[in-house]
Amino acid sequence: MERRLRILAYLMIAPVTFWLLLFFGFPIFETFRNSLYKTSFLGERFVGLGNYTNLLDDDLFRLVLGNTLSWTVANVTLNIILGLGVALLLSRSTLFSEFARATLILAWATPFVVAGIAWKWIFNSEYGQLNSLLLSLRLIGEPVQWLTNAQSAFTGALIARFWSAFPFTAFAFLSGLQSIPLEFYEAALVDGATPWQRFRLITLPLLRPVMTAVLLISVIWSFNSFAFIYVMTGGGPANKTQIMVTEIFRRGFGYFNFGDASTLAVVAFIFLMIVSLLQWKLFYQEEI
Amino acid sequence: MPRFSRLLTQGLWSLGILGIVLFTLFPFWVVLSTSLKTPGEVFRSPATLIPETVVWENYIEIFIQIPLVRHLLNTIIIAGAATIINIAIAAPAAYAMARINFKGKSMFSLGTLVTQMFSPVIILIPVFKVIKELQLLDTYFALILANTAMTIPFSVWMLVGFFRSIPLELEEAAMIDGLSRLGAMLKIALPLTMPGLVTTAIYSFVTAWNEFIFALVLAPNRYMQPVTIALYSWEKNNVVEWQYLMATAAVATVPTVLLFMLVRKRLTAGLMAGAIK
């Protein structure tokens, strides 16, 4: 009986296992292998770890690494802090907050490409609606040049990604908030705790598991977010907003330098592995 | 005085929510208003927030000037097929993980967890090479395969959560009454998780609908491209026809928004199960 049950289980997981090995196992192996070759118009030449040692004095790689770090950190910080803020604002169930929650779904469901395009147009310095809005509210005297220098291009892409990422974060925090027993707050009220004390001593500690989970997933999703940079800045000006995933794509499919691109892909893979193993340790291991 | 301060808090509270709503809706407003403008008004500075002349014909033009029906059909075929395969193979796997103890279970769950964190970019080169070698570029087959792979890991985790949320006793009682494990799954667990299955299906359908990177390299021929790539049709010689681009963007977004609206309550629960616990 036990044995038959186990066989049934293996049959049930077999298709997924096969699919994952085919689409992730094999390609990852191939990516490792490709990273040991140099691609040129002559074809592929085995160079061992040559591509990796080259990375050490690759200035562009260092720039991309730095960009990726600031992109990920900025995205995650914005997402967590404002996502929590939004969740707190929407936590009381009123008609207005129900309406607001429904609008968040709109942003969440919007394809990344569409969101990127919409924000790119909003930020257009000549014809964009942001400048026109700010001008009509007299907040600025003349049009601001958004997206033209590295700093503003980076910020623009950041805002656009935040727009499409914060609904999930807010919903995650909202369901975390709902799982905190109301008695805790009632008891704190009886003891005369201020709102800030209630937040710091009840909400925050009890929200910690959700917070850690959202943090990790937010790190991964920010690191992986390709469309906003690709659509809005194309990595420019002068690669100053290029991040890891867009750079892999550029080296692979812009220059068809598969060897180089694979080397970067391996670096990205290792980073993602570390974060997901952390996630595994913290949230899943005991459950299985 | 306390009444006044309560009023003030409530006012600030509502103002905050209003801010969120305006921020969320602003891009939609921009997309819709731009999609209804004349070319002349699109390139007016400063931009108008409400179109002076409303050109509904833009929404007809986009279907005439590019093969938009074909693009939409491509997306529906790719996302639809990927979702069906996905649910068909993820549901049994998730059930096994939720209900049966077997050796290698933690390996399997680690595998599905790690793969859901992958960026398509990491596996793009080998996938492209193989697909090209097999002469499967510009086929539904390749895009369906890739989209199924990208959505399976998440589906498995979401479904594990949904299966766990139904009480074990129901299946146990049915098995005491002589139903086999497989029978218990098909007759008891699956019907009970129907809402969860629908939520998971919609999530993976929308993910496949929004997919961009694989389509960018696996479908060079425009007649095979899904609607997310079709948006680029409006960029010709560095000039963008924004009114048509925005109209196409609106058309591409309506289905995903409607689908998410349908399951909005369960979606977070499912993702929390999948992504968080």
DSSP secondary structure, B74-87, as one string? HHHHHHHHHHHHHH
Tell me the average pLDDT across B233-244: 86
- Residue A44, phi then psi, degrees to nearest 5: -105, 140
Give the tens place of pLDDT for each residue, B60-108. Answer: 999 999 999 999 999 999 999 999 999 999 999 999 998 888 888 888 9
- pTM summary value: 0.91
Q: For the segment B119-146, what is each residue's pLDDT rounded down to a tens digit?
A: 889 999 999 999 999 999 999 999 999 9
CB < 8 Å to B90, chain A: 16
Any B CB within 8 A of A285 CB = yes
The CA-based dihedral angle spanning residues B9, B14, B20, B25, taken in that order and rounded to the nearest 10 degrees: -170
Q: Is the pLDDT of residue B3 over 70?
A: yes
Q: Work out the percent of chain B whose per-residue pLDDT is above 70.
A: 97
Write out residues 167-226 of A within 8 Å (CB-CB) of B: 167-168, 171-172, 174-175, 209-210, 213-214, 217, 220, 223-224, 226
pLDDT tens per residue across span B186-195: 888 888 888 8
Question: Is a pLDDT exceeding 50 seen at residue B277?
Answer: no
Which of A100, A75, A88, A226 has its CA nearest to residue A159? Answer: A75
**Which residues in chain A have their CB less than 8 angstroms from residue B20's CB?**
86, 89-90, 100, 103-104
Distance CA A25, CA A23 (A): 6
Tell me: pLDDT of B1 over 60: no
Q: What is the pLDDT of residue A285?
A: 66
Q: Which residues of A touch B200 (CB under 8 A)?
A: none
Average pLDDT over residues B106-121: 87
Retrieve residue A162's tokens: 């935040």
Using DSSP's 3-state secondary structure scheme, residue A45 falls into: strand
Nearest to B72 by CA among B261, B234, B223: B223
Pair A198, A88: CB distance under 8 Å: no
Domain segments of chain A as ranges: 50-287
Whether A34 has a pLDDT exceeding 60, the answer reads: yes
Q: Are B109 and A284 a contacting pair at CB < 8 A?
A: yes
The answer to whether residue B228 neighbours chain A at the CB level (below 8 Å) is yes
Write out pLDDT tens, residues A156-207.
Answer: 999 999 999 999 999 989 888 888 888 888 888 888 888 888 888 888 888 8
Please state, in angstroms and rounded to a whole number, the distance separating the CA atoms of residues A204 and A3. Answer: 46
Output the CATH code of domain A50-287: 1.10.3720.10
How far is residue B260's CA from residue B206's CA, in Å, rounded to a whole number? 8
List the single best residue of A117, A131, A179, A211 to mutate versus B (max B Cβ within 10 A). Answer: A117
Least confident segment among A63-67, A78-82, A208-212: A208-212
Q: What is the ipTM of this complex?
A: 0.90
- Contact state of B276 with A265 under an 8 Å Cβ cutoff: no
Average pLDDT of the segment spanning B243-267? 91
The answer to whether B23 faces chain A, any CB pair under 8 Å, is yes
**Closest chain A residue to B130, measured at CA:** A27
